[in-house]
Chain A
Amino acid sequence: MSEKAHKKEIMKFAAWKTVSRAALILSLAALAAVIIFVLIRGIPYVNAHLLFGEYSTRNPSIKPALIGTLYLILISVSIAAPIGIGSAIFLTEYTKSKSRLVRIIRVAVETLAGIPSIVYGIFGYLVFVVALGFGYSMIGGGITLAVMILPVIVRSTEESLLAVPLSLREGSFALGSSKFKTIFSVILPCAASGIVTSLILAIGRVISESAVLILTIGMVVDRIPDGFASPGTSLALDVYYFGSHGYPEQAAATGVVLLVLVVSINILATVLGKVFGKGELANG
């Protein structure tokens, strides 16, 4: 290669470097813009009435949505957490990773994770609204969400179980503990922080979700749900409802509430992970 061509080649790649730096700035700016604009548009309209007032057509509030969201978190996490943690324990503690059963389970979990939420919504609609005849209900939406967050819990719990050193298990067995004792007294306490973090992230998913709910809980924005069998709404659903039914200010304000909630949950998960992570290092 002549010296000139060589120089040109180097210049070309230097240009690519500039392009990637520009992309970094552009990406960060775009993501920041989403948050900043929603905050700017929404914060002026966040007020006590919107949060806790009575709903009326002229002056809507998100009180039904707040209560609905709590219902959904309660139902979905209390179903998905035991099942998800149980399957992670089975996958890490009871099986060799090459067996056929494990492969089938893994493929199922991966596939569940890749299914679009609207398809979960149709499933929930067919099962709970049509086949079981519940109509639109919190319990139907909650169970559907539980299936949806199951892969999240399984995968991250599995990771925290795998991070528990093998030597702890061997030590426990060597002392004569049963498998039961080893799992509940040694492995689970060691992995507790990771599991709690995964549950918090799952709660974040539940709060963020809306496409599932439009098909299962019915988007009834004006009434507070009066039980598990009652239809209702959620925060994310309210953002959509207000945005598409002529309440742009309320939509932005609800968006702010949702954003603050989700971001603080994610920060909580990160901080918890870090605090516990350090503690474990010190002990280990």
Chain B
Amino acid sequence: MTSALQRFLPLIVTTAVLVVGFLMCAAQFPNFASWRVVGNLLTDNAFLGITAIGMTFVILSGGIDLSVGAVIGFTTVLLAVLIEHGGWHPLAAFAVALIAAGGFGAAMGGVIHVFQMPPFIVTLAGMFIARGLGFVLTTDSVPINHPLYGELNDIALRFGAGGKLSLPAMLMLGVVVAAVVLAHWTRFGANLYALGGNRQSAELMGVPVGRTTVAVYALSGLLAGLAGIVFSLYTGAGYSLAATGVELDTITAVVIGGTQLTGGYGYVVGTFVGVLIQGLIQTYITFDGTLSSWWTKIAIGVLLFVFILLQKGLLTVWAGRGGEPAEA
């Protein structure tokens, strides 16, 4: 029964890093081990987590989506313009934003499948288009003052001493649960892993490659749109330069979470833990106060390197034994 252990090893290591990291922080700063910090960790990283879940699906299918950060930025601008300039009700604006983001992703998926272009470059173009559309709407940072925003931000489940599960955090946890179900207990999930494992085999097995490809990019776009809504709730404004570089943070979270970038192997839960590890590093540096912000980037870079080495090592061990290829 070592194979089950092997299969879950990346996930176990990632979780262990999070737990050990948290305990080390708690040992250094007594106030760290509080429900308030945990609640803030979830709230502050909610938009990143939601986006990273979508990215996990894309990467599992063997692709990549560089447009997510730009889609978040565009969504915040669209919401701000519709609500503040257009006088729309926020809920209607949310619906439009989700449809637009999902449709945008589906279009990219369609282009990738029909014209057989590398996902890397198609989503790069998508990133330019989404940022550009945001700029065209407005280059200003537009504050959103609708009363519903205040009400939504007041929704929170309180627990423990000072602990607070805000609406963004709840949304993220909901997305994680739904994503686990989608990845492991549905036909779509099975198709996804098959497609990422080996495209030709999947095609021969009868996996609807085109439909799955379009669906996975649509899902990534939709989740980026949801993350944009969360981001606009969190900041209370729409800005076309918002969330620059988020695509890289999410890819980093996916890698730290143990998903292989070649596709076909990985877990949604791992990505969630990867997001929390990044958030933990940020929180630690805030707590410390003397460390400068650039150490975040260096620490995440080092972590990325270590986890890639770990993956490589595991793969070599598996290959050496002649069993357990990259599958799930």
A binds B: no
Q: Which residues of A contact B (CB under 8 A)?
A: none
Q: Which residues of B contact A (CB under 8 A)?
A: none
